[in-house]
Structure 1
Amino acid sequence: MTDPSDHLVTPAQLRDLADRAEALSTELRATQALFLLDGRAALIPLAHQIDGDPDQIRRTAATLRAVASGLAMVNARPADACQALEGGCPDHGCTLVDDHEADLCHCGEKLRFGMCFIHGAAWPTTRTWCVAPGCDRTWDYPRRLLPCPETARWIVGPGELRRRLCDGHALARRTILGETSITQLTSTNQPTEPAGQRRT
């Protein structure tokens, strides 16, 4: 876990910004209503100019809350965590899928080729699960989009490519990429976060 005093951006700051964005969205919607209630036909085009802005700002607020949650998880990672930049299954590695799969971003925008027009790589709103045969682990956050939180148990790769990886990511490097330079670390600590819920 990192020292919060070193963080330039905190989850609390992002949540506060989200609150202010939602308040601004509400104010804009009220202002638009006043334009329409004024009764002057000349104001209607002006009201329509801000028609989509409140909804866009509200979607931005939702994005900020999602990012705040992700940032809190990243900040809570222990110093001995796996160095993989994407989450995986503790047992099987790179076998995760999200149940939004190429439909909608968390902001509501339809995805095209897995990308959101507003946010780029989509941040799913629902579960992540492992698709390895016989595995029933699930997570209620976009685990693939965050650095792996599992404890590193292996040194994988030669020289400058060497990384400290968890069981799942070390297995993936060996079975998918054919990596042969794998050495077990001396630490035998247990994983520092729950290894996912069991599907019911």
Structure 2
Amino acid sequence: MSFPRFKLVPGHIDVDVPGWELTGDRLSGERIMECHELFHPHDHAADVEAALQWADRVIGSKQIWTHVSDRNRLEHWEAGTLADNTDGPEPTPADIRALIAEADALQERIRNVEHRLAGSEETRHSVFRLDDAAGRLTAVSEALEETAGELARVRAVRDGSVCAVPWGVCPEHGNTLISTGGRTRCSQLACGRSWDYDRLGVPCGEPLTHKVTDAAGESFRACKAHAMDATERLIGGTVTPLDKADQ
């Protein structure tokens, strides 16, 4: 689960002094802890708007603020997440799947609001947009899951334990794949294999079985299907099975 980078909370900043407290962490790692008295004590909407603008100025950039109410109906505003640092480590499949959990939780919250509004004769006419919004989050989760799967395959290739040829193959028929719309299938009619991702667009990832050496003496390890393809295309090189210890 991602946590907000910035929080803006209304409350008492001193004895009998109502105001706003801004806390958070800039991308540089600098901690923010700032307070300000109410901007418009007698106009809540104007006060909130002014507080958000003040927070943007303190942070140094315009934020997208989300209004949050907890179970006790205490409100505050949140912006950004601790995963926003684009200079940090590369996201992992687990990071992507954490986004899936957030999307699923949001979908559940939307369905809950939809159900509550649908129970009233006065408000049930307004819920059709919520049904559409919740449905779109299903597609979001599916896209994130496919991304996490592709990232996992790329990371597996990096450690050298699987075939790292930068395009996929059919494990049985070799260089016979066709990819459209993010899906891939083997073009051999008798095969029937298909994959729910762009297998041509990511590194292979099949088990290592052969060593391929070209005419100049350069070599790499490959899977059975890529070795088979190399046998048909290689001029003056060799393709030899790996010893068990090298696989």
The 3-state SS of whatever aligns with 2:109 is helix
The 3-state SS of whatever aligns with 1:180 is coil
Provide the C-alpha distance between the structure 2 equivalents of 1:191 and 1:139, rounded to a whole number of angstroms.
29
User: Following TM superposition, by how much is the alpha carbon of 1:13 offset from its aligned partner in structure 2, in angstroms?
Assistant: 1.0
The 3-state SS of whatever aligns with 2:168 is coil
**More strand, by proportion:** 2
**Contact conserved, 2:212 with 2:230, CA < 8 A, in 1?**
no
**Contact conserved, 2:211 with 2:220, CA < 8 A, in 1?**
no
User: Normalising by the residue count of structure 2, what TM-score does the alignment of the two structures yield?
Assistant: 0.46
Distance 1:166 1:90, change over 3 A: same
**Per-residue CA distance 1:21-46 (angstroms, 9 max, x = gap):** 111111111112222223226x62x3
1:30 alignment partner in structure 2: 112
Of 118, 121, 145, 1:39 maps to 121
Q: Does 1:19 align with 2:19?
A: no
2:226 alignment partner in structure 1: 169
Provide the C-alpha distance between the structure 1 equivalents of 2:162 and 2:128, rounded to a whole number of angstroms.
51
Gap runs ≥5 in structure 1: 1-5, 103-113, 116-120, 193-200
User: Normalising by the residue count of structure 1, what TM-score does the alignment of the two structures yield?
Assistant: 0.55
User: Following TM superposition, by how much is the alpha carbon of 1:7 offset from its aligned partner in structure 2, in angstroms?
Assistant: 5.1
The 3-state SS of whatever aligns with 1:50 is helix
**Per-residue CA distance 1:89-139 (angstroms, 9 max, x = gap):** 456422468xxxx9xxxxxxxxxxx32xxxxx23x7xxx789597x99x79
Provide the C-alpha distance between the structure 2 equivalents of 1:189 and 1:171, rounded to a whole number of angstroms.
19
Provide the C-alpha distance between the structure 2 equivalents of 1:186 and 1:168, rounded to a whole number of angstroms.
12
Gap runs ≥5 in structure 2: 1-87
Q: Does 1:144 align with 2:226?
A: no
With CA pairs under 8 Å and 6+ residues apart, which has the higher RCO, 1 or 2? 1
- Name the larger-Rg structure: 2
The amino acid across from 2:174 in the alignment is: G
1:49 alignment partner in structure 2: 129
Aligned pair count reads 156
Of 32, 39, 63, 2:143 maps to 63
The amino acid across from 1:25 in the alignment is: Q
Identical-pair percentage:
22
Provide the C-alpha distance between the structure 1 equivalents of 2:108 and 2:175, rounded to a whole number of angstroms.
42
Provide the C-alpha distance between the structure 2 equivalents of 1:58 and 1:17, rounded to a whole number of angstroms.
12
The 3-state SS of whatever aligns with 1:52 is helix
Provide the C-alpha distance between the structure 2 equivalents of 1:131 and 1:166, rounded to a whole number of angstroms.
19
**Contact conserved, 2:230 with 2:239, CA < 8 A, in 1?**
no
